[in-house]
Amino acid sequence: MADPRRKKLTSVAIALLFLSGGIEYAVILPTIWAYLQTLHAEPYFLGLGISAFSLTGLLAGPLFGLWSDRTQRTKAIILFANTFEIAGNFMYFMGISKWLLLGSRLVAGVGTGAGASIFGYLTRSTTSQERATVFAVVMACRQVGLLIGPACNLFLRLCNFCLGPFEVNKFTSPGLFMCLLWILLQFVVMAMYYDLPPSAHLQRAALVPQEEEEEPLVPHDAGLEEGAENSRYGSTGSDLRAATPGGPDPHAGDEYRYVPNGHLTEEEARDKGKSQLQNLSTMKEYLREEVVVLLTAQFITLFNQTALETMVTPITQRYLNFGELENSIMYFLCGIEVICGFFLVRCLSTRLPDRVILVLGLIICNVACVWCLLFLARPQGSFGILLGELVVGVFLQVLGLPFVAVSQVSLFSKVTAERTQGFSQGLRRSVGGVATILGPLWAGGLTDNLFIMLGVMMGLLSLLTVMVGLSYTYLVEPPRGYLSETSQEEPSS
């Protein structure tokens, strides 16, 4: 049983990590475009800079998740990942060239891979009934960071001094600020984060697979046959196995022994058979209909979100003459709305199933995308009309985000095996990472042709809505033990 005090401290440390991730996003995003302009960067560098952060994150996520699944530890992973955040933000502060700025986002993005390990830990330490609530709170912490970030920019924009050979101004100060913040978080994690054992319900569930393992997954003869076939590759028949002195019956597989020259013993063959069956069942697990639908939801939602975020800054600059101050205020207000949305979802999750919340979110997102296509694709009118159209479009888009985000993460943790949650969450975040790479690149290249950009986004969202409707009956938590039984029975059938 975990110490309640340690569990509370660990929860606080996780909240601070997600809070800092939100602060970093909100501090960097409003000023990166103007920062790139001072370095004489081409317009497409805005999309590259935003996408670079996600690229390394999507590569690091599954690796960190697999690491946590194997070790059942996350503290060392978090400390290791944070060093990339520190280095990347310091490179951003240096700001010598546009290429160094791009490299800084690549390095800092590796640090986001630790999120997969954290989500795996949260899945292992919560029940399925409370999981949506916990995820909503954690995601809300990131949104609080998105709220605090613009407020930090209000002070960082006043910086104008030199620190050794480096100039500290309103563009470079966000990098220095985040570097110091991640250094502080290293001490917080070392002091407050504990690798706690899984919750009691998972420990009880773990007894079932252990009892089932008494019956071999692979028949005795099959294990020997597979081991012999694998040993034949690149070898002659005479050195594969040696018969016992008594001249064994060729059909008596248990009387053969493998010579110790790099070939498999009977026990090793059986273990290898188990491993191969587990790998096969894991691959099949991620190809099930409900898993594919939820991964598609992750991709399309984040693709549309990041595309709109990339589009908003140039639009406000072109049609409303917004600067970094006005953009920071806009992100500040969006942060308030998203936090309210997450707490609304937190309340609804105790009364409504995850799939109902997902459908509600998709309805809101469809309305938001239609609005943007009608009114923002070709902005016209006075300043007041343009501002009103932008406010409504951004409000609807931000409102639908918490519904889709929380419901699909919670559902994904329930329809995938708990023993591989680190890797599963890493895979999910990698899919989201691909979306956050392609979204800004797509929007950055079409800021002058918004009809095409928004039309494709509308098409993707419509596709997702149809997929969710067709797979609605499958978007529920499987019966207890179903996933483990599937992993054992499917390969044998």
DSSP assignment of 189-219 equals HHHH---PPPPHHHHHHTHHHHHHTTS-SS-
Domain stops at, among 201, 227, 253 = 201
Has residue 56 been placed in a domain?
yes
Residue 481: per-residue pLDDT: 53
216 φ/ψ sector (left φ>0, alpha ψ -120 to 50, else beta): beta
Domain end point (choices 201, 224, 248) = 201
SS3 163: strand
Residue 3 maps to a domain: yes
What band does 252 get if pLDDT is binned at 50, 70 and 90? very low
Q: How many residues does the chain have?
A: 493
| Same-domain status, 324 and 179 | no
Mean pLDDT of 213-230: 41
* Owner of token pair 């399309």: 300
pLDDT in tens, 186-201: 999 999 998 877 765 5
Residue 6 clears pLDDT 50, i.e. is over it: yes
Residue 477: strand, helix, or coil: coil
- 38 HSE (CA, 13 A, CB side): 11
Task: Give me the helix-helix angle, 324-348 and 4-38, nearest 10°.
Answer: 150
Please write the tens of the pLDDT for every residue from 40-93: 888 778 778 877 887 888 888 888 888 888 888 889 999 999 999 999 999 999
User: Per-residue pLDDT averaged across 466-485, rounded?
Assistant: 75
Residue 132 domain-assigned?
A: yes
Q: Is residue 98 included in any domain, yes or no?
A: yes
Q: Is 60 exceeded by the pLDDT of residue 371?
A: yes
pLDDT of res. 347: 86
Q: Quote the number of domains for the chain.
A: 2
Are 31 and 158 members of one domain? Answer: yes
Q: Which residue has the tokens 């309805």?
A: 363
Kindly report the CATH number assigned to the domain that includes residue 320.
Answer: 1.20.1250.20
Continuous H helices in 1-127? 4-38, 44-71, 75-94, 98-110, 114-124
Q: Report percent pLDDT > 90 for the chain.
A: 16
- For residue 326, pLDDT over 90 is answered with no
pLDDT at res. 269? 53
Q: What is the pLDDT of residue 212?
A: 41
Residue 94 lies in a domain: yes
Shared-domain flag, residues 295 and 186: no
- 2 or 463, higher pLDDT: 463
State how far the Cα of 243 lies from the Cα of 258, in Å rounded to an integer: 9
* 418-446 pLDDT, tens digit each: 777 778 888 888 888 788 778 877 887 77
Q: What is the mean pLDDT of residues 144-161?
A: 80
189 and 76 in a common domain: yes
- Which ranges of 193-323 does DSSP label H, i.e. alpha helix? 200-205, 207-212, 220-232, 266-285, 289-319
> Do 352 and 464 fall into the same domain?
yes
Judged against a pLDDT cut of 70, whether residue 233 lies above it is answered with no
**Percentage of the residues of the chain whose pLDDT score is greater than 70:** 79
Of 17-21, 251-255, 312-316, the range with the highest mean pLDDT is: 17-21
Q: What angle do CA 139, 143, 144 make, to 5 degrees?
A: 115
Domain check: are 197 and 308 in the same one? no
Which of 186, 179, 184 lies closest to 28 in space, CA to CA?
Answer: 179
pLDDT at 167: 86
Which domain covers residue 336, as residue numbers?
A: 287-476
pLDDT at position 467: 93
Whole-number pLDDT of residue 282 = 60
Note whether 144 and 13 are same-domain residues. Answer: yes
DSSP string spanning 386-397?
HHHHHHHHHHHH
Q: How many CA atoms are closer than 13 Å to the CA of 353, on its beta-carbon side?
A: 11
Residue that wins the pLDDT comparison between 350 and 111: 111
Q: How far is residue 403's CA from residue 205's CA, in Å, rounded to a whole number?
A: 30
Question: What are the Cα distances from residue 387, in Å, to 11, 33, 157, 376?
Answer: 40, 21, 24, 10
Higher pLDDT, 180 or 442: 180
Taking 60 as the threshold, does the pLDDT of residue 139 lie above it?
yes
Cβ atoms of 27 and 171 within 8 Å: the answer is no
The answer on pLDDT for 310 being more than 60 is: yes
Q: Is residue 230 one of the residues assigned to a domain?
A: no
Mean pLDDT value of segment 220-244: 40
Tell me what the mean pLDDT of segment 123-145 comes to: 78
Q: Establish if 272 belongs to a structural domain.
A: no
Last residue of a domain, one of 146, 176, 201: 201
Within a domain: residue 419? yes
Give 295's pLDDT tier (boundaries 50, 70, 90). very high
- Given a contact cutoff of 8 angstroms between Cβ atoms, the answer to whether 370 and 396 are in contact is no
Rg of the chain over Cα atoms, rounded to whole angstroms, equals: 26
pLDDT at 468: 92
At 286, give phi and psi (nearest 5°).
-85, 0
Q: What is the mean pLDDT of residues 319-348?
A: 81
Q: Confidence class of residue 492 from pLDDT cuts 50, 70 and 90?
A: very low
Three-state SS at 486: helix
- What is the reported pLDDT for 163? 83
Q: Please tell me the predicted confidence (pLDDT) of residue 90.
A: 93
User: What pLDDT is stored for residue 77 in this prediction?
Assistant: 92
Q: What is the three-class DSSP state of 166?
A: strand
Q: What is the pairing mode between strands 257-258 and 241-242?
A: antiparallel
The mean of the pLDDT values for the chain is 77
